[in-house]
Amino acid sequence: MERDTVEEVGIDEEGRLYLRPSLSSFDYIYRAAMEVNWDKANMRLFGGKPRQWSYLDWFRQIIGAARDEYGVDLGLTRSTIWSNISEELKAEIQAAASWKK
């Protein structure tokens, strides 16, 4: 399994959680049929708006799609940027992350 770090975690203007990886691109992530997509212009993965799922659920879904479809394990670092994320959600995401650097 390949590892890559997450440069940024945020919520976009449409209310969707996104992760911007350091090195990897995921042009065909939609093939995983996990409702996770790749924003090529901004180089980031994103999920749907939280309706039945929370942002934490979407974080897990995005991480799982990258792992299952591409064999890439995404992890957080001390320098990960948090954009439009509450401290409570940040703590939940950090606790759920499979690895941290």
* 93 within domain boundaries: no
- Total number of domains constituting the chain: 1
pTM of the complete model: 0.93
To 5 degrees, how large is the angle CA 22–CA 30–CA 78? 25
pLDDT band at 14 (very low <50, low <70, confident <90, very high): very high
Return the pLDDT at 100: 65
Say which CATH number the domain at 12 has: 2.20.20.40
Percent of the chain residues topping a pLDDT of 90? 85
- The answer to whether 35 and 51 are in contact (CB under 8 A) is no
Residue 91 maps to a domain:
no
Residue 101, domain member (yes or no): no
Output the pLDDT for position 101. 64
Residue 36 sits at φ, ψ, to 5 deg, of -110, 135
In a domain, 61, yes or no: yes
